[in-house]
């Protein structure tokens, strides 16, 4: 079941990457030649391209509006959480982004956790946890049978000024728990609302 959720997350990330690539390709092909028929084609294709870009900026605006929490680390890291959904399999999948404003390449070494088993995950978000203040419980990130976290690994690090997406899966708190604190590394805790998945 863990493998199924990992593959689901990877498929979702692949779909986002392919969609972004197609949008960039369409935007790059928007230029036209000097011919009259081409101008007509360029004009007609410019409208869909503009609306596609408008759609992209519209989809980015709600995404910015759906940020559940954002915290800033002392070194210039910005962690945003955009989704925290319960799965029917008894999991919670948390997703978001991290922006590197540290002035150097960031490799997430302090986010991988202190446990020796987690060291094999390299630079990752494996050290994250959910804290249920109401139930007074701490939920650690899920792992597969070989000790790999069900989370994003920041392979190669995150360049200065870059933003990258991440996900992490946890055991689900009881159904009457609707708010938890997300904690990773030295970042301040972020209070987030849990929602039901599709």
- For the CA atoms of the chain, what is the radius of gyration? 20
Sign of CA dihedral 155, 156, 160, 161: negative
Domain boundary among 65, 98, 115: 65
Q: Which two tokens stand for residue 18?
A: 């392919």
Q: How big is the chain, counted in residues?
A: 198
Q: Are residues 144 and 186 in the same domain?
A: yes
Rounded Cα gap, residues 173 and 135, in angstroms: 8
**Averaged pLDDT score across all residues of the chain:** 75
| Whether residues 96 and 191 fall in one domain | yes
**Percent of the chain, pLDDT > 90?**
43
Rounded Cα–Cα distance for residues 78 and 178 (Å): 24
What pLDDT is recorded for position 171?
96
> Is residue 77 domain-shared with residue 56, that is, in the same domain?
no
Is pTM beyond 0.85? Reply is no
Q: Which residues make Cβ contacts (< 8 Å) with residue 40, sequence separation at least 6?
A: none
Indicate whether 73 and 50 sit together in one domain. no
Q: Are residues 96 and 56 in the same domain?
A: no
Cβ pair 184, 79 in contact under 8 A = yes
Q: Using a pLDDT cut of 70, give the percent of the chain over it.
A: 65
* Distance spanning both ends of the chain, measured CA to CA: 17
**Structural domain boundaries enclosing 36:** 2-65
My answer on whether 93 and 18 are in the same domain is no
Which CATH number is 104's domain given?
Answer: 2.60.40.1240
Instruction: Note the pLDDT tens digit of each residue in 133-159.
Output: 988 999 999 988 888 889 998 888 999
Residues 16-66 pLDDT 10s: 455 445 444 444 544 444 444 444 444 433 434 333 334 333 333 344 458
Are residue 112 and residue 97 in the same domain, yes or no?
A: yes
Beta strand residue intervals within the chain, DSSP E: 69-72, 77-86, 91-100, 129-132, 137-140, 163-171, 179-183, 190-193, 195-196
Which comes out higher in pLDDT, residue 179 or 112?
179
- Is 179 found in the same domain as 90? yes
Q: What is residue 46's three-state secondary structure?
A: helix
């Amino acid at each position: 079941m863990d493998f199924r959720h990992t593959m689901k997350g990877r498929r979702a990330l692949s779909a986002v990457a392919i969609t972004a690539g197609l949008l960039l390709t369409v935007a790059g092909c928007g230029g036209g030649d000097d011919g009259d028929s081409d101008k007509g084609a360029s004009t007609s294709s410019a409208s869909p391209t503009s609306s596609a870009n408008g759609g992209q900026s519209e989809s980015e605006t709600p995404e910015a509006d759906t940020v559940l929490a954002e915290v800033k680390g002392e070194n210039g890291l910005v962690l945003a959480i955009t989704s925290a959904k319960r799965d029917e399999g008894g999991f919670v999948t948390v997703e978001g982004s991290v922006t590197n404003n540290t002035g150097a390449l960031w490799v997430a070494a302090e986010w991988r956790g202190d446990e020796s088993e987690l060291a094999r995950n390299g630079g990752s978000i494996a050290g994250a946890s959910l804290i249920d203040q109401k139930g007074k419980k701490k939920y650690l990130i899920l792992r597969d049978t070989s000790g790999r976290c069900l989370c994003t690994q920041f392979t190669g690090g995150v360049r200065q000024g870059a933003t990258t997406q991440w996900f992490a899966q946890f055991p689900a708190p009881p159904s009457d728990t609707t708010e938890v604190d997300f904690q990773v590394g030295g970042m301040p805790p972020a209070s987030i609302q849990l929602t039901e998945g599709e």
